[in-house]
Amino acid sequence: MELLLQAVPVQRGPKLNQKSYMATLSFGDIVRLMEDERLYVPNDSELADFAQRKPNLTRVNNIARYILSTYKNGSTFFPPICVNIQPDPIYQNGTIILPYDSASLRLTDGQHRCCGIHRAIKLLQENKAAEVAEVSRLELGALIYAALPLELERQAFRDQNLLAQRPGKSLAHLFDMRSPEVTIAKELCKRVPQFRSNIETVENGLGKHNPKLMTLSTLVTATQHMYPRLNANDSLEQKIDWAMTFWAAAASALPDNPWRVISKIERKQQREDSIVGAAVVFQALGLVGRDLFNEGVSSENLVKWLAYLAEISWDKEEDIWLQRGVVQLNAKGARIIQNTRTTVDSCYHVLRELLGVTPKEGVLA
């Protein structure tokens, strides 16, 4: 019995023995080959052919959920996997030919994708879902290396992972069309007057010379705090309207209008003097918004609830921020704000007390 793969040769280097091919594997073939131990992941550090990292089961399950939530509308996007095949195959008329019983397709990149595909199909089979055949017919691109020695296989794994770069969180959110919290945050960028021209949607952070006041990533996190149990099938318009009113009221109440468009130098000075533009403040306000939403505070009453924000001293030198752990002292004695969940929680508790917000019973404070 032979293993046949439709493939196209690609040039990887000037030497004739550097052979590679572009091919596709169906999801069903990936499952079959994994279960037959033809598609092999050398991820056990005790083995002599160790050439991969250990799998992350959380990531595998996340990929499986991603597949099951996206395949129906054709929006499952995977980069090609990379496979080192042994032995050196025969290539004839667009087909790679391998002896099935002795063939080994060793993954140098894509073990989590393949394990996620396997998990997704197994979940469908366990639930006796009619979509098993449909998902099994989906295809994944594969870059196939021909008979790399072990040392080059390890080098391929290293290079493929070392040279890869994930997009920054804000840019990833900007391009995301699925996540409900991202949908809400992007609508807020358009609907809240103070947010226009003040949200950084590309860079991951706000450097010294960035005049924006908040990143899209921070706004998405604040939205997750405000609505912690969003579902992709939820109707979002009511939540968007309430959040828009909340943020417009909060932004209007902050003193000295930090939302005004100012120069890079002025913004830098503002960050040095005040915590009002710190990411932890906006995330903490998201938690305050959660409490008010759960209490059933109407959008008409939000202005009254948030008016006290105008009376708070946001000066970084204000002792309350240091005493409550929102601001810390670095080794040189300068006051800094660390963007951690602990600091966000500290800021939230201060704002909750100052605003007189009491969490609804059963909601974690």
| CB burial of residue 122 (10 Å; 0-12, 13-18, 19+) | middle
Question: Taking a C-beta distance cutoff of 8 angstroms, is the pair 279, 222 a contact?
Answer: no
Quick one: pLDDT band at residue 209, thresholds 50, 70, 90? confident
Token look-up 């932890």 returns 280
Strand partners, 141: 24
Least Cα distance to 213 among 271, 170, 255 occurs for 271
Q: What pLDDT does residue 359 have? A: 62
Least trusted range by pLDDT, from 246-260, 308-322, 346-360:
346-360
Which residues does 302 contact at the CB level (< 8 Å), separation at least 6? Answer: 245, 246, 249, 292
Question: Taking a C-beta distance cutoff of 8 angstroms, is the pair 230, 181 a contact?
Answer: yes
Return the HEC string of 284-336: HHHHHHHHHHHCCCCHHHHHHHHHHHHHCCCECCCHHHHHCCCCEECCCCCEE
Task: Give me the mean pLDDT over the 39-46 stretch.
Answer: 92
N-terminal to C-terminal alpha carbon distance within the chain: 63
Taking only the tens place, the pLDDT of each residue in 2-38 is: 889 999 998 887 877 788 999 999 999 999 999 999 9
Quick one: pLDDT band at residue 360, thresholds 50, 70, 90? low
Taking only the tens place, the pLDDT of each residue in 257-301 is: 999 888 889 888 888 899 998 999 999 999 999 999 999 999 889
Taking only the tens place, the pLDDT of each residue in 48-103 is: 999 999 999 999 999 999 999 999 989 999 999 999 999 999 999 999 999 998 89
Question: What is the chain's mean pLDDT, rounded?
Answer: 91
Which residues does 159 contact at the CB level (< 8 Å), separation at least 6? Answer: none
What are residue 119's phi and psi, to 5 degrees?
-65, -40
CA–CA gap between residue 17 and residue 92 (Å, rounded):
17
Answer positive or negative: Cα dihedral of 118, 31, 24, 52: positive
Q: Is 98 helix (H, G, I), strand (E, B) or coil?
A: strand
